[in-house]
Structure 1
Amino acid sequence: MGALLDLSEENYRLLLRLAPELRLMQGRALSCLDHGMDLHLEVLEQTPYTSLLHLTYFFPHAGGHYPDPDANLRVYHDSKQVDIVDLRQSALPLKKWGDNPTLEQRWKLNLFLSKWLAFCVIQGHGFGAGGPEYASSRERWVVS
């Protein structure tokens, strides 16, 4: 159980590298890089101690756009942890877990999230402090 908590804390640190001002964000934000997929972030809810987020890429698809990976995350700012509310992805054979995932299933999901968040950070994605005016020259921002 301790390793899962450590991973949840690492996911919090990675998420804050992507969105340092997460607690202040509202609505939707988009991080666009010249060399990769656009990363979409939507803040669904802000409370004094938590944030509820939707994070995804949208791949072109015959019927429009297909979100993958597609995650809803509960961020606990007081304990500095991230909990996966829902995660859908097609890259790895992670089975649907229902309402009560086992410890092993939660570990696998959090490990996937950790790898994805780290990949986004390494690529250069980010939702800068205060919005688009803080973006580097290689990023294009859309905030609504």
Structure 2
Amino acid sequence: MRGTARSTVPALTAPSSISRPARYKMDLAGLQAVCEANYRQLFKVAQDALCAQKGSVKLLSSEWMNHSSKAHLEVLEQTRYTSLVALSLTSRLHDWLTLPQMQIRLYHDVQMAEVVSADHYRNLSAVYEYPNPAMHLPDEKHQLNLLLAEWLAHFLETGLSTEPLSKKLPT
């Protein structure tokens, strides 16, 4: 006899289709870069409103290919190191193109602007397990900050201020 026989049966392993997907890892440096750019862009768009008192409103207008859009930026809270502003569209560019009503926290000491709520979702988490009951993307907060960045870039290309700084919204 020549030694022991080797088994030709392969070892049992779980099929790749059953394995769990890799857990999402937050891109903190990418999120911070977007928030820093958003801070600079917001000050280009509405420096007078952002430096004013609580309750100040800046009315904005954008026009692109014969379509116009209007928005307002309101200072909700002003402290020594932070501000909270609300950004919302009052008229949309297209019916299919909407911008959620956002609340943006500006951190003046580190010069960052972060979306802290959108529409009725407050206190957004940095990372969500997926799937989840609200069907948030794993990187929902990052995506909302990117949306703000794209809107601000679009506004800087096509927008103009329609009205001077006012203390209260027109009714």
Secondary structure (helix, strand or coil) at the match of 1:36 reads strand
Residue 146 (structure 2) aligns with: 111
TM-score computed with the length of structure 2 as normaliser: 0.60
| Alpha carbons of structure 1 residues 39 and 2: separation in structure 2 relative to 1, 3 Å | same
TM-score computed with the length of structure 1 as normaliser: 0.70
Contact 1:44 1:53 in 2 (8 A): yes
Equivalent in 41, 60, 78 of residue 31 of structure 1: 60
Compare the two structures and name the one with the higher helix fraction. Answer: 1
**Aligned length in residues:** 120
The runs of at least 4 consecutive aligned structure 1 residues that moved more than 6 Å come to none
Structure 1, unmatched stretches of 5+, are: 61-66, 90-95, 127-138
- Report the AA paired with residue 58 of structure 2: A
Equivalent in 125, 136, 143 of residue 100 of structure 1: 125
The structure having more radius of gyration, on CA atoms, is 2
Choose between structure 1 and 2 for higher RCO, CA contacts under 8 A separated by at least 6 residues.
Answer: 1
Secondary structure (helix, strand or coil) at the match of 1:30 reads strand
Are residue 42 (structure 1) and residue 67 (structure 2) matched? no
Residue 32 (structure 2) aligns with: 5
Residue 155 (structure 2) aligns with: 120
Equivalent in 89, 100, 103 of residue 57 of structure 1: 89
Residue 25 (structure 2) aligns with: none
RMSD of Structure 2 on Structure 1 (CA): 2.7
Deviation of 1:110 after TM superposition, in Å, equals 1.2
Question: Aligned partners of 2:62 and 2:164: how far apart in 1?
Answer: 9
Compare the two structures and name the one with the higher strand fraction. Answer: 1
